[in-house]
Chain A
Amino acid sequence: MPKQQANWSPYDNNGGSCVAVSGADYCVIAADTRMSTGYNILTRDYSKICKLADKCVMASSGFQADVKALQKHLAARHLVPLKIQIYQHQHNKQMSCPAMAQLLSNTLYYKRFFPYYSFNVLGGLDNEGKGCVFTYDAVGSYEKVGYSSQGSGSTLIMPFLDNQLKSPSPLLLPVQDAVTPLAEAEAVDLVKTVFASASERDIYTGDKLEIVVINADGIRREHMDLRKD
């Protein structure tokens, strides 16, 4: 008898795309709200975005059950050190984004040999109020970047973001100015454009776009409709 292969997988991919873009004093995090499995849609209204701390938000695509479990773990772990040193944190406000970034990385690596099937982007403000974006792989390797995208649409989205946001190499001649940093409103527009385009060609991205903007005034949410096909 030929060798039988396992035909049950503990993982599934629920599709969707996430994007984060940071600026001098703001950060925009966005994700679509479509949850699918195979060629079917499970729901058109599922949020992939989770608030981890005062000025720190995470968007995750991949297997949403793992994403949910990861979010719960972070919420609890975030609380445990927070509460043990509650007095310290009361004065220093909540965990900063870079600290949360390291926590997320460690949490992911904890499950190195049975990973969370979760592709994350973390966005927020650092201690000085500057926008920051951290991008991850499934086992916790991370990097601070100016912008990032993850998920089924990222192959379509990333090249476009590179075209618009990536600074030209300082080694190239003639010397080019670095791309002028975007204003908050421009960044939000860019994100909307990016998702509208991704929805055209990626079948797993669409329905509605959820945008979260973090700046010195706090956190604000926006919604935009996307193609439903």
Chain B
Amino acid sequence: MFRNQYDTDVTTWSPAGRLFQVEYAMEAVKQGSAAIGLRSKTHIILGCVNKANSELSSHQKKIFKVDDHIGVAIAGLTADGRVLSRYMRNECINYSFTYESPLPVGRLVVQLADKAQVCTQRSWKRPNGVGLLVAGLDESGAHLYYNCPSGNYFEYQAFAIGSRSQAAKTYLERRFENFADSSRDDLVKDALMAIRETLQGETLKSSTCTVAVVGAGEPFHILDQETVQQMIDAFEIVGEQEGSAAAAGQEAAQPGAAVADQGGSTDEGVAPMDI
């Protein structure tokens, strides 16, 4: 995308019928570090890559609990994401207060989408520069939605957003047909594998990723580092074999090689300052 004379205002159409500012906002999402989500009939897993400004700082929070049954992972301008999470939490609390039951996920994403649309039609506002993967469990089952800065929203079986998300999407596309009946633990493993794809050769450690779960009988919570590291260790050995067996070229081989170098040690590496 290049600069042109129709991209100054969000309220200016281009002759081809495009709103460039909105499209630039979607670019901001692609620049953020990766976030992935996948679901079965009973559980939804969210995962994200932790990015820290420097080794001295802590990493940014990209997964937020919205309510016991809803959580969100963001990619893009995390400040916008934080503000939207607060809005989502408020909506859930207000709905609970009035109806004494949890807010259905489908309603929440529509409200979010409408809020986003407003920013695409006011000259004094700008679109949110953040993509949201909303994971929630309600009476109608397990849901995963993606909310765009454009005000669109889509439901997914599995999705990935942010930088290098295409690698994760390819992995998920290969595997998604199995997800509906997967067990919770298998889903978490798949999530970790998908995150690993986005790391492109970097070793997958619990300090570089965050995983959250919500499901039947399991309120939304972020898994602690130890649990995540245990799961990584458990499948790294299997992953090595899978890596060399897979048809794909460099991508698959590299994580395998990196794992061999690590020698299965549980060394967390130079982890950024933890909160």
Contact = CB atoms under 8 A, between A and B. Distances in A.
Interface of A: 72, 75-76, 79-80, 83-84, 86-87, 90-91
A84 B86 contact: yes
Given A72-B97, A76-B96, A76-B97, A86 B90 contact: no
How big is the B interface, by class? 10 to 19
Interface of B: 61, 64-66, 86, 89-90, 93-94, 96-97, 222, 275
Given A80-B90, A83-B86, 8 more contacts: A75-B97, A76-B93, A79-B93, A83-B65, A83-B89, A84-B86, A86-B64, A87-B61
Contacts, number: 25
Contacts of A91: 275
Contacts of B93: 76, 79-80, 83
A84 B275 contact: no
9 contacts: A76-B94, A79-B93, A80-B90, A83-B93, A86-B65, A87-B61, A87-B275, A90-B222, A91-B275
Contacts of B222: 90
A76 B91 CA distance: 11
A109 B61 CA distance: 36
Nearest to B86: A84
Contacts of A76: 93-94, 96-97
Contacts of A84: 86, 89
Contacts of B66: 83
Nearest to A72: B97
Contacts of A72: 97
A86 B86 CA distance: 10
Contacts of B65: 83, 86, 90
